[in-house]
Chain A
Amino acid sequence: MEFRDYYKVLGVERAASADQIKTAYRRLARKYHPDVSKEPNAEARFKEMQEAYEVLKDPEKRAAYNQLGADWKAGEQFRPPPDWGSGFEFSGGRPGGGSRGAGRAGRSRAGAAEDGAFQDQDFSDFFSSLFGGGTPFSRTGRAAGRDHHARVAIDLEEAYRGTTRTLELRRPEVKPDGSVELRTHTVRVTIPAGVTEGQLIRLAGQGEPPSGAGQAGDLYLEVHIQPHRLFQLEGRDVTLTFPVAPWEAALGASVTVPTLGGTVEMQIPAGAQSGQKLRLRGRGLAGQPAGDQYVQLKVVLPAANTPQAKALYEEMRSKLDFDPRANLSR
């Protein structure tokens, strides 16, 4: 695994105070938070920052991290020392527990629940090997496992038809000799048709394993539907921008329209205008009720690049009583 330079990630000196670390994290979090940021790779960058802050805000973890030495460079191959975690006293009666509680109180996060913001399953192998489950720094004393959360990105067609996804889940497991191994197992998840952006999918019992006799936590997948080349999604409705010829808009026409479920025939009414929306009921994402597809007409003018085309435009100019700027002269 590769060494991670947490000070570099947050852009602070090794001697930075707790306040300087907090300020640096807050400034970067505002810039890269996936819910508000438009920076490229904001989500990956934010996870790096969260991981770095999780270590550097905690005096015990920070001290242990510092003990690795200042000579490591980010990206260098790294293995935890064999005696990792020994020689530390942990506050609060259990490893890591006391400092974590104190940290939460000190941060004054109104509305934040005591449990749940930090989840190490998204963090790097480097973090997991040093501070994850099974290490002296992980939280213990919890009979039931916690819920885990992950994002799953699917195409719009997959949201329409339903799909399956193979997920690789990593869990730290303590081996008989006391060392920690990240164990990966794959699961195939059936995602039903009609899921929408941001919706949660629950996989019972696939979260954190219990440390005692309690139940395993659940795994929640948050669905993200990727932008589509043709269709725009809003809730369960989809909108398609549909080019039409001027005579199709003026005279009406029967046209073939792509939908998520295949092509359908649609009648364009005579006198249609560019920008006008026509509805195909029930052709959006499945649901109760199903979404609709909106077909937004876009009148496209043929180029006047042949003698025949020019003649037709000339004929319209001379024979049609049409002033597109009539409203401007009133």
Chain B
Amino acid sequence: MVRVTHRLEARVLGEGDWIAATEICQLCSLDLGAVMELAELGVVAPREIPPGEWQIPATALPRLRVVGRLIHDLGVNVSGAALALELLEAQRELERRIRSLERLVSDH
């Protein structure tokens, strides 16, 4: 077995980056209709530049990938996945607050 080592520069998709909706679809395993439905539901805020071509902020990628996985793996529809996403995020926020309060009252 041959082992080759390459050093690669990583490109972080983050704040300030806008990604074409078609590429988002590929990255998140969603179809364009689903992405536009998620926009209507307020999960993402796309922009239309140039007219007829939609772009999505790269910061929305983690949320959209969760939605894509929920749709694929659990068989839920788009609005169900969006609802599940919001509930999961609310749950994590509550868990974070609980951990924070536990640290405040614990002996250590």
A112 to B76, CA, bound (A): 10
- Is A186 an interface position by the 8 A CB rule? yes
CB-defined contacts of A198 to chain B, threshold 8 Å: 61-63, 65
- Is B20 an interface position by the 8 A CB rule? no
Task: Identify A33's interface contact among B2, B13, B58, B69, CB under 8 A.
Answer: B69
**If the complex has contacts A186-B4, A200-B61, are A221 and B10 also in contact, measured as CB distance less than 8 A?**
yes
**If the complex has contacts A201-B10, A296-B100, are A36 and B88 also in contact, measured as CB distance less than 8 A?**
yes
A311 to B34, CA, bound (A): 70
**Does B5 lie within 8 Å of A111, measured CB to CB?**
no
A-to-B contact residues, CB < 8 Å: 26, 29-30, 33, 35-36, 46, 50, 107-117, 147, 166, 181, 183-192, 194-204, 206, 220-222, 232, 234, 239, 241, 274-275, 287-288, 296, 298
A166 to B8, CA, bound (A): 10
Task: Identify A116's interface contact among B15, B29, B78, B99, CB under 8 A.
Answer: B29
CB-defined contacts of A166 to chain B, threshold 8 Å: 5
**Does B3 lie within 8 Å of A186, measured CB to CB?**
yes
Quote the shortest CB–CB distance from B50 to chain A (angstroms): 24
The tally of residues in B whose CB lies under 8 Å from a CB in A reads 50
- Is B83 an interface position by the 8 A CB rule? no
CB-defined contacts of A35 to chain B, threshold 8 Å: 66, 69-70, 88
Which 5 residue pairs are nearest across A and B when measured between Cβ atoms?
A: A198-B62, A111-B34, A116-B29, A117-B72, A241-B103
B1-19 CB mask vs A (1 if < 8 Å, else 0) is 1111111111111111000
13 A-B pairs (CB sep. < 8 Å)? A33-B69, A35-B70, A110-B34, A111-B67, A185-B3, A188-B7, A192-B10, A192-B12, A200-B12, A200-B62, A202-B12, A232-B96, A232-B100
A276 to B41, CA, bound (A): 36
Quote the shortest CB–CB distance from A309 to chain B (angstroms): 17
**Does A26 lie within 8 Å of B78, measured CB to CB?**
no
Nearest chain A residue, comparing its CB with the CB of B37: A111
Quote the shortest CB–CB distance from A106 to chain B (angstroms): 11
Quote the shortest CB–CB distance from A249 to chain B (angstroms): 13
**If the complex has contacts A186-B3, A234-B96, A239-B100, are A111 and B10 also in contact, measured as CB distance less than 8 A?**
no
Quote the shortest CB–CB distance from B101 to chain A (angstroms): 9
CB-defined contacts of A183 to chain B, threshold 8 Å: 1-2
B51-88 CB mask vs A (1 if < 8 Å, else 0) is 00000001001110111111111110110010010001
Quote the shortest CB–CB distance from A95 to chain B (angstroms): 23
Task: Identify A201's interface contact among B11, B27, B69, B71, CB under 8 A.
Answer: B11
User: Knowing that A186-B6, A195-B14, A274-B104 are A-B contacts, what are 9 other residue pairs whose CB atoms are under 8 Å apart, sorted by A's residue number?
Assistant: A36-B88, A112-B30, A113-B29, A166-B5, A197-B62, A199-B14, A200-B58, A206-B8, A241-B104
Nearest chain A residue, comparing its CB with the CB of B63: A198
**If the complex has contacts A26-B74, A26-B75, are A201 and B13 also in contact, measured as CB distance less than 8 A?**
yes
Quote the shortest CB–CB distance from B13 to chain A (angstroms): 5
**Does B8 lie within 8 Å of A109, measured CB to CB?**
no
- Is B25 an interface position by the 8 A CB rule? yes
**Does A298 lie within 8 Å of B72, measured CB to CB?**
no
Nearest chain A residue, comparing its CB with the CB of B78: A111
Nearest chain B residue, comparing its CB with the CB of A203: B8
Nearest chain B residue, comparing its CB with the CB of A299: B104
Chain B positions 27-42 with a Cβ under 8 Å from a chain A Cβ: 27, 29-31, 33-34, 37
**If the complex has contacts A195-B12, A221-B10, A241-B104, are A111 and B31 also in contact, measured as CB distance less than 8 A?**
yes
Task: Identify B15's interface contact among A50, A274, A287, CB under 8 A.
Answer: A287
A88 to B71, CA, bound (A): 32
**Does A222 lie within 8 Å of B3, measured CB to CB?**
no
**Does B11 lie within 8 Å of A222, measured CB to CB?**
no
**Does A112 lie within 8 Å of B66, measured CB to CB?**
no
CB-defined contacts of A109 to chain B, threshold 8 Å: 71-72, 75
CB-defined contacts of B6 to chain A, threshold 8 Å: 185-188
Nearest chain A residue, comparing its CB with the CB of B6: A187
**If the complex has contacts A35-B70, A111-B71, A186-B3, are A298 and B10 also in contact, measured as CB distance less than 8 A?**
no
